[in-house]
Amino acid sequence: MAGEGSTGGSIRAFVCVELPDDVVAEIAAQARTLATGSISPVQENNIHLTIAFLGEVKQSAVPEIERAMGGVSREPFRVRLGGLGSFGHGSPRVIFLSVEDGAVELSELHARLCSALEGAGIGCESRDFVPHLTLARVRASSGKAAGTRAQASLEGKHYEFTCNGMTLMQSVLGNGPPVHRRLFFRPFP
C-alpha cells in the first residue's frame, strides 16, 4: 500500500528498471561473495537500476508521477551489465556494475522521465545521471582493498536482459536495509 510505513503524508520514492528474477538471483549471488565486515551487499529484493530518484514526495503526487511515467514511451531495449566501478573519492563507498550496453537508452529514458516529472511539478535528483547497478556499500575504513577484492570476484561476469518498462517504487527506511514496494509499472511500448 502506498505510504505504508511513511509519515506526514509523504513517501520516499524512485523510478527504476526491474531486472528478471533469474538475472537478479545471479547478481545477488555474486554480490554476496563481496560480503565482509566492511562491505555490505545489496539485498536480492533491492536489486534494480535507478532511473530517477525522487526523494520525499507527497502521497497525493503518486497519480501525477504515474501519469508522467505513462507519457514516456519507447521500445524495449537490451541492457548488458558488466565491468565494475565505484563511487567515492580515493576510497570506494559504493561498488557497482557498469552498464555496457543500453547506457544511452537509459540516459535518454532518465532525461525524458525527468522532463515529464518536472512538467508535473515533481523534481528529480539533481546529480548527473550515471547508469549503474549498485552491488554493495563500503565502509570508509576498507579503502582500496574492497575495490580490489570486488574486481577479482566479478571479473569477466556479464548479465543481459531486455528492459521492457519502468517501475515507481516506494523505499521504506527503518532498522536494517530499506524495504522497496512496487507502486506502479509502466510497460514499454
* Active-site residue list: 48, 132
Cell of 24: 537478479
CA 12 to chain centre: 14
pLDDT of the residue at 86: 86
**Which CATH code, of 1.10.1740.10, 3.40.50.300, 3.90.1150.10, 3.90.1140.10, is assigned to 10-187?**
3.90.1140.10
pLDDT of the residue at 122: 95
pLDDT of the residue at 1: 41
Domain parsing of the chain, residue ranges? 10-187
Q: What is the separation, in whole angstroms, between the first and last Cα of the chain? A: 26
pLDDT of the residue at 151: 58
Q: What is the mean pLDDT of each run of 10 residues along the chain (189 residues)?
A: 55 97 95 86 95 96 97 96 85 90 97 96 90 88 57 76 98 89 96
pLDDT of the residue at 140: 63
Nearest C-alpha neighbor of 96 from the set 104, 84, 107: 84
Residue 122 is given by DSSP the state: -
| Burial profile 18-36: b = 16 or more Cβ within 10 angstroms, e = fewer | bbeeebbeebbebbeebee
- Three-class SS of residue 23? helix
pTM of the complete model? 0.88
CA distance 110 to 106: 6
Sign of CA dihedral 174, 177, 179, 185: positive
Asked whether the beta carbons of 32 and 42 are under 8 A apart, the reply is no
pLDDT of the residue at 6: 46
